[in-house]
Amino acid sequence: MSAPYWLRLLFLSLGSFFLVNALVGWAARLATRAAIRIGEKLQPHSAARILLALRFLGPALGVAFVLGLCVPSYLRFEPHAESERMGLLCLALGVCGAAVWCSSLTRAGSSIVTSLRLTRLWNRKGQMSSMPGEESGAVVVEKNSPLLALAGVFRPRLVVSRGLLLALSNEQLAVALQHEGAHRASRDNLKRLALLLAPDVLPFTRSFALLEREWAEFSEWAADDDAVRGDSERAVLLADALVRVARMGTGPRLSYLHTSLLGSHRDLSARVDRLLHVNSFPAATDSSSWLRAMGGGLCLAVCAVAVAVGPVALSAVHRMLEIFLR
C-alpha cells in the first residue's frame, strides 16, 4: 500500500519499537527467575531495583533505538516523496507497536481513574487528623474494615480507617505509619505508574506478572526494613500489627496505584517470619553509588560509540528499514 512520508515514519517507529521491545522483553522474561534468586541474596532495596531495571529494559532500548537510530536515519536518507509504497511487514509491526502502547495506556488509565475515584470518596467522607510522625496528617475514614494505604502518585497522602486505628496500639500504629512513610520516600506509587505505562511484549498480555509481583514483595520487605531499622522490638511491633490487620478481614479493593500496609495475604507469613528474625537480615550495603557509577559509565560508553559510528550506523539502519518499507 502507498502511504505519505510522515505516516511511513510513524509506522516504522512503532514497528521498530515493537520488534526491539519484544526481543529484549522475551530475554528479560527468561531471566526473571534468575534475577529473583539473585535478589533474594541481596538487600530488598537492591533486589527491587534489579527487577525494576529488568522490567524497563525492553521499553527503554526500544525508545532509544527509535529516537537514536530509526528516526534520524529515516529523516537523513529517505527522500521526501509525496507518497511511496509501504510493505505489509512494516504495516503489521506498526499496528502491533501501536497495540502494545494502547494496551499499557489503557491499563494505566483504568488504574488512575480508580485511584482518583477512591481518593475523592475518602476526602469527601473522611476527615483530616494528625498522626504520629506525619506532618501532613492522614485522612481518617469512618469504616471498620482494615485500611492503611498511601494514595496518590505525585503527592501521596495517607488514608486510614477508624477500625484500624482502634485495633492497633500507639506503638504499632507508629511503626506501621513509618512503613508507609518508607513507601513514600521510595516513590513506590510513581514506580507502580511507570510499570503500568511500560508496554508489554505483546498487546493486552501480562508477560511480566511474576516479575512485577516479586518487585512488589521486595518493595514491602524494603519498607519493613526501613520502618524497623534493625530494632528487634520495633520488628515485633510491626509483625504484630500485620497479623492484627490480617485478622480484621478483607479490606476495601484498592487501585494498583495504592500501597497498603498489607499488600497481600500471600506474602504475609514471609514478612512476619523476616520481622521475627530481624537479626538475620542480610548486612546492609549501599549499592546506590556503584549503581549510579555503572549507569553513568554505560551512558558515556554508549555516547562515545554513537559518536564514533554515527554515520555508518545510520546508513546501516536505513538499509534495514528499507526492507520493511518495501
Q: How confident is the model at residue 316 (pLDDT cuts 50, 70, 90)?
A: low
| Nearest CA among 161, 165, 166 for reference residue 151 | 161
Beta strands in the chain (DSSP E): 2-4, 83-85, 127-131, 134-141, 148-151, 157-161, 259-260
Asked whether 126 and 162 are in contact (CB, 8 A), the reply is no
Whether the predicted pLDDT of 282 surpasses 80: no
| 290 domain-assigned | no
Classify each residue of 173-204 as buried b or exposed e, where b means 16 or more C-beta atoms within 10 Å of its C-beta: bbbbbbbbbbbbebebbebbbbbbebbbbbbe
Eight-state DSSP code of residue 83? E
Place of cell 542480610: 282
Number of independent structural domains in the chain: 1
Note the pLDDT tens digit of each residue in 43-63: 999 999 999 999 999 999 999
Q: How confident is the model at residue 204 (pLDDT cuts 50, 70, 90)?
A: confident
Please state the φ and ψ torsions of residue 285, each to the nearest 5 degrees: -135, 135
| 288 domain-assigned | no
| 59 domain-assigned | yes
Average pLDDT, the chain: 83
SS3 230: coil
Find the DSSP H helices in 126-255: 162-167, 170-185, 188-197, 209-228, 232-247
Whether the predicted pLDDT of 214 surpasses 90: yes
Whether the predicted pLDDT of 315 surpasses 50: yes
Residues 186, 261: Cα–Cα separation, whole Å: 15
Longest dimension (CA), the chain: 73
| 274 domain-assigned | yes
pLDDT at 91: 84
Tell me, what amino acid is at 309? V
| 175 domain-assigned | yes
| 286 domain-assigned | no
Residues 319, 245: Cα–Cα separation, whole Å: 61
Dihedral sign of CA atoms 76, 80, 85, 90 in order:
positive
**C-alpha cell read off for 217:** 514483595
pLDDT at 266: 66
For residue 11, what are the domain limits?
2-281+297-325
| 318 domain-assigned | yes
Mean pLDDT of the 5-33 span: 90
**C-alpha cell read off for 17:** 519499537
| 179 domain-assigned | yes
